[in-house]
Amino acid sequence: MTIIGLSVIVVLSTIPLNRMVGRTFVPEEDMGQITVHLDTPQGTSLEGTVEAARDIVKDLTGLEGVGQLQYVAGMGKVNHFHVMLFLKPLNERNVSQADIVATVRQILSTRPGSSPTVTGRTALGGSGEGGGGGGTYFAIQASLQGPDVGKLYDYSQALLGAAQQTPSLVDAKTNYSNASPEVRVAVDRARAADLGVRMSTIGGLLRLMVAGDDEISTYREGSEQYPVKMRVLEEQRRDIDTVGKLTVPSSTAGSIRIDNIARFERGFGPTDIRRVNRQFAIDMQTDVAPGHALDEASNDVRRLIADLHLPPGYTARLYGQTQILDETTANLMMALLLASIFVYMVLAAQFESFVQPIVIMLVLPVSVPFALFTLWITGRTLNLWSALGVLLLLGIVKKNSILQVDYTNTLREQGMERHEALVVANHVRLRPILMTTISIVAGMLPIAFGRGAGAGSRASMAVTIIGGQMLCLLLTLLIMTLFAWVMFYLNAGAATAIVGALLVLIPASDFAVNTMPFCHPATAKAGRLISTNSHPKPPA
C-alpha cells in the first residue's frame, strides 16, 4: 500500500507543480540582438527626435558585451525612434542577453517620459514593433474595443496604470495618445454655403499648402522621376494667423480668405485612430518581468481587465504570444489525447489484449510530476520544447513497461507461475532498462549544457528528459510490477487480486535494489531453467 499511496501523492502533485513551473510559448534565447523603442514628447520635430536618439546612444555606449549600436529616428512617427544593440558572439562575452536587457532597463529608468521598451530578439523572428505599432512579437498585447474613443481612452489609461504597478509586467505602454498638438479648423458651414465655398475645397487647400501631401506635378531627370509637392514655409505653417490668410475660390465672391469663414483653435488630439470590426480600438503592449512566466502575467492582465468592469458594448481581447500559447496548449492536449488512443490501439493489437495496454499506460501519469519538478528545480518553464520533452519521456516510460510485460508474458507461456514470472522478468529486464536509461541521459547531457544558437530550446527538452527519467525510473518500475500482478489476477476475483498485490510488494522492492538477475534467491530455480534453455527471445 505504500507504493500505491506514494503513487497517488505523486500524481496529485501535478496540479501544484504546474502552477509553480508556469507556462511560456518558447524559452528565452540568446539571439544576440536587443531593440530599444522610445518616444519623444508629442510635437517634437524630427531634428529633436534625432538629437534624443543620439543622447540615448551615448548612454548605452560601452556596455559590456555590446559590439555595435545603431539608431533609426522618425520611422512610422516623427517622435519615435529605436536603438538596436548588436551583441558580441557568445564566446566573446561573459554576460547573457537577459543580463544586458536588465542593464539597459536600469539605465533608461531615468527617462520615464520616453516610454522606453526593451525587447530582445526572440525565436519567433522579431523583437516587437515600437511606437505603439501593435507588434506581433510582444509577449502580451491587450486590445480594448468600444464605440466611444473617449471612454475607451480612459479605460486604457486605467489599465496601463494598473499594469505598471503589477510585478509580473514590465515596459507597459499603449498605442494611443491624445496629447499631439494640433490646430482645429471650425468652418462656419452656413456662411461658407452662402459664399459658395465647398468643404472639400477648404480641406484640399489645407492638405496641399500645410501638410504638403498632394502631388502637383512630376520632375524627370535622366531615367529617374520625382514627385513635386508644394507647401508654405515652416514658420508660416506654425502661425495660424498666416494660415488663415490663405484664400479659397468662391462661386459668388471670387477668392476669399479662410479666416472669413472658419475659426482656428489650438488643441491636442490623437496621432492616429484605429478601428477593429467597426469599433474604436486601443492596444496595450507589455512584456513579462524577469522571474515570471507568460501564463502568470497573462492571468494578471485578465484580472486587471476584469477589474475595469467594462460596460456593455466594450470588449477586451488578448493577442501576441498569449494567444499563441493558448492555441498551442490546446493543440498539444489534442495531440496527446490522439497519441494515447493510437498507442492503445497498437498495444492492444500487439498483445492481443484489451487489459494489458491499459496496465502499461497507467504508469504514464506518474512520470509527468517528475518532469515538472525538474523544470521547477532548474528554474525553467513549461514551453513548447519542454512539452515535447515530456512527450518523449512518456514514450521512454512506456517502452520500459512494454519490456516488463512482454517478457512476463513470454515466461508465462513457458509454464512459469505468475509470481515467479514477474520476479524473473523484472530482474532480467532491469539490465536493458538501465542501459537504455544511462544511454539516453548520457546522450542528452551535452544538449542540456550546450551553448550557441538555439541552445535554450534544446536544453529545455534535454533537461526535461534527463530529470524526469532519472527521478521516475524506480517508482514507475515498481508500479508497473504491481499493476502487472493485478492484471494477471483479474480473472481470479477482486479479493485474490488484492492479496496478490500485497504479496508482490516485497519481491518488487527487492528487485529495485538488486541489479543482477542472479542476486535474488527466489530466482535460483528459475535461473537454472534460463541457463539450460538460454534466455527466451522476446518478440522483436
- Give the whole-angstrom CA distance, residue 400 versus residue 410: 16
pLDDT for 79 equals: 81
pLDDT for 63 equals: 86
Dihedral angle of Cα 418, 419, 422, 424, to the nearest 10 degrees: -110
Decide: residue 188, CB within 10 A, 0-12 exposed, 13-18 middle, 19+ buried: middle
Q: Which residue has the cell 498551442?
A: 328
Q: Which residue has the cell 479605460?
A: 155
- Give the whole-angstrom CA distance, residue 109 versus residue 103: 10
> 173 near 117, Cβ under 8 Å?
yes
User: Domains, the chain, ranges and CATH?
Assistant: 2-23+325-533 (1.20.1640.10), 30-121 (3.30.70.1430), 138-174+277-319 (3.30.70.1440), 180-269 (3.30.2090.10)
Q: Identify the sign of the CA torsion 366, 368, 369, 370.
A: positive
> 398 near 343, Cβ under 8 Å?
yes
Q: At 182, give phi and psi (nearest 5°).
A: -150, 165
pLDDT for 490 equals: 57
Contacts of residue 472, Cβ cutoff 8 Å, sequence gap at least 6: 366, 367, 370, 371, 393, 397
pLDDT for 144 equals: 93
pLDDT for 126 equals: 53
pLDDT for 448 equals: 85
Does residue 166 come out as left (phi exceeding 0), alpha (psi in the -120 to 50 range) or beta?
Answer: beta
> 328 near 441, Cβ under 8 Å?
no
Q: What is the pLDDT along the chain (540 residues), one digit of tens a residue?
A: 677 788 788 888 888 888 888 888 888 777 888 888 888 887 788 888 888 888 888 888 888 888 888 888 877 778 888 889 998 888 888 888 888 988 888 888 887 777 788 888 777 655 554 433 334 457 888 999 999 988 999 999 999 999 999 999 988 888 887 777 788 888 888 888 888 888 888 888 888 887 777 788 888 888 889 988 888 887 887 788 888 888 888 888 788 888 888 888 888 877 778 888 889 999 998 888 888 888 899 999 999 999 999 999 999 999 888 888 888 888 888 988 898 899 889 988 988 888 888 888 888 888 889 999 998 998 888 888 888 888 888 888 888 888 888 888 888 888 888 788 888 888 888 888 889 889 998 998 988 887 766 677 788 888 889 988 888 888 888 877 777 777 666 544 443 444 444 444 434 434 333 333 323 333 333 333 333 333 444 443
- Give the whole-angstrom CA distance, residue 38 versus residue 178: 17
> 393 near 371, Cβ under 8 Å?
yes
pLDDT for 489 equals: 61
Q: pLDDT, tens digit, for every residue of 117-148?
A: 888 877 765 555 443 333 445 788 899 999 99
Q: Which residue has the cell 519623444?
A: 40
> 248 near 202, Cβ under 8 Å?
yes
pLDDT for 159 equals: 93
pTM attached to this predicted model: 0.73
Contacts of residue 368, Cβ cutoff 8 Å, sequence gap at least 6: 11, 14, 390, 394, 468
**Measured between alpha carbons, how far is residue 411 from residues 116, 153, 252, 457 in Å?**
70, 75, 111, 43
